[in-house]
Structure 1
Amino acid sequence: MRDPRARSGRPGLPGRRRLVVAAATLLLALTACGGEADVPFSGRPLDSPYTVPDVDLVDTDGDAFSLAADTDKRLTMVFFGYTRCEDVCPAVLSHLASALTRLDDDDRSQVDVVMVTSDPDHDTPQVIRDYLDTFDRSFIGATSDFDTIVEVGRSLAVGIDRDDPGGHTTQVLGVDTADEAPIYWSQDTTPAQFASDIHTLLEDS
């Protein structure tokens, strides 16, 4: 894991340290009361956040898109997947889409979801757009050449196999306005858990 990288120019927006503190505080509270809660906190804070690389990908409009420079919401949920995936990818995207419907308007306006394809040979910008629209039209899709996607994924501890697009790591990463990923969720996180965690992080950060 890399050392955290500080970025300036975004006054008034929370950095990763405040998101981590929010998550850690909730986890301590749950532990103190025996771990019982209607919706347990499911995100896993990282002691050493991943630094999001400022590398140009391509969005579904064909424009340059960077997970660092172009993710300015307070929280951006990033998932690496591919459109021909039959199980994990649609399940994760469906859960994220459902989670967003559970947020109030204020929380919803502060969150983006981005899918980076792990199968760029097949997933053109239009293919990705058509696919994501079946879940939520606000979802952002990104692609590039395979080596660039591998580079970006490696920085976020996401492994991608050229011969097996389905062999990618399946966590959802939370990216903050400091261009760091201080927290992640497993593929088994439910819509209710995503929604609860997002609200908690935005409320306490």
Structure 2
Amino acid sequence: MRAVPGQAALGSAILVGGLLLTGCGQDATAPADAGGVRVATQDDGFHGTLMQRPQPRPDLTLPTTTGDPFDLGNRPEDEITLLFFGYTHCPDLCPTTMADLALARDVLAPGIRDRVQVVFVTEDPARDTPEALREWLDRFDPEFTGLIGGTEATAAALRELYLPESAQVADPSTAIVHPHEGGAHAAEGDGQHGNGHSHGDYGVDHAGTVYAWGPGGRAVIYTGGTTPDQYAEDLTRLATAG
């Protein structure tokens, strides 16, 4: 998987169209088509990149792992929402990101922790059934919200956020992980496993960016290299911003 550039050195401005597709499926990366839109940022002590111009939560409603609708665009005013698109068979970035966010949330002061909502949208609904996604997320934090995506609605949300759309890769260069069957290359024979559907060995290239929103319309983006302690510091700043 090709490394994603760190966000701390992005300087005073970034070209959102340059945010890259992760190499979960292959080594190739592809820029999002943002039409050359440049989003200014400001240095306000954040480890991520603080958006100077408003970037609202996307207008996206998806089912949770319990089947209830989750309206991402209409959240409580004091909520700190973190959003990530991925899939459970991802060999590296998705589990690493979820683990980092779980550790970050764990070290927050209780009053802030209760306001942090981590949202993981699967872009692989064929394999990530609600039960499978819930089981996978519970390994990191049972409070994480899992949404079933991989639809035109999620593609539209990715475009709204100037992120690349997800793409299935038939022959990934990095072996995928079958998280519910004990590791990479668990599929054998006809590829059928205990839950009755084929896990397959395809990958999914997806945006590797974490979006975070806080009160007052503040939005921060993370494109790699952020530690749990740095996430925790930024989430505390978002929670206490006037």
TM-score of the superposed pair, with normalisation by structure 2: 0.63
Paired residues, number: 170
Deviation at 1:72, TM superposition (A): 5.2
Distance 1:111 1:153 in 2: 21
Equivalent runs, 1:172-191 vs 2, <5 Å: 172-176=210-214, 182-191=219-228
138-147 vs 66-75, greater mean Cα deviation: 66-75
Deviation at 1:176, TM superposition (A): 3.4
Deviation at 1:100, TM superposition (A): 0.7
2:199 is matched with: none
The one-character-per-residue Cα deviations of 1:80-117 (angstroms, maximum 9, x if unpaired) are 11100010011110000000111111111111100011
2:104 is matched with: 99
Contact 1:73 1:111 in 2 (8 A): no
Cα 1:200–1:176 shift into 2, 3 Å:
closer
TM-score of the superposed pair, with normalisation by structure 1: 0.74
Does residue 1:204 correspond to 2:241, yes or no? yes
Cα 1:204–1:82 shift into 2, 3 Å:
same
Contact 1:71 1:177 in 2 (8 A): no
SS of corresponding position for 2:167: coil
1:34 is matched with: none
Structure 1 residue runs of 4+, over 6 Å off?
none
Aligned alpha-carbon RMSD (Å): 2.3
1:56 is matched by which residue type in structure 2?
A: T
Does residue 1:111 correspond to 2:148, yes or no? no
The one-character-per-residue Cα deviations of 1:156-198 (angstroms, maximum 9, x if unpaired) are 22222332353211111012356x5621112321101001111
1:86 is matched by which residue type in structure 2?
A: P
Cα 1:26–1:73 shift into 2, 3 Å:
same
Distance 2:55 2:164 in 1: 14
Cα 1:26–1:56 shift into 2, 3 Å:
closer
2:213 is matched by which residue type in structure 1?
A: V
Does residue 1:129 correspond to 2:143, yes or no? no
Contact 1:78 1:115 in 2 (8 A): yes
Relative contact order, CA 8 A, sep 6+: which one is greater?
1
SS of corresponding position for 2:98: helix
1:170 is matched with: 208
Return 5+ residue gaps in structure 1 as ranges: 2-22, 28-40
SS of corresponding position for 1:160: coil
SS of corresponding position for 1:53: coil
Deviation at 1:50, TM superposition (A): 2.5
Distance 2:44 2:167 in 1: 39
Among all aligned residue pairs of Structure 1 and Structure 2, give the percentage whose two residues are the same amino acid: 32
Cα 1:121–1:100 shift into 2, 3 Å:
same
**Bigger radius of gyration, 1 or 2?**
2
Equivalent runs, 1:27-66 vs 2, <5 Å: 27=45, 41-66=46-71
Distance 2:224 2:89 in 1: 17
1:193 is matched with: 230
61-70 vs 43-52, greater mean Cα deviation: 43-52
Larger % of helix: which? 1
Contact 1:88 1:187 in 2 (8 A): no
Contact 1:73 1:112 in 2 (8 A): no
Cα 1:177–1:119 shift into 2, 3 Å:
farther
Contact 1:118 1:160 in 2 (8 A): no
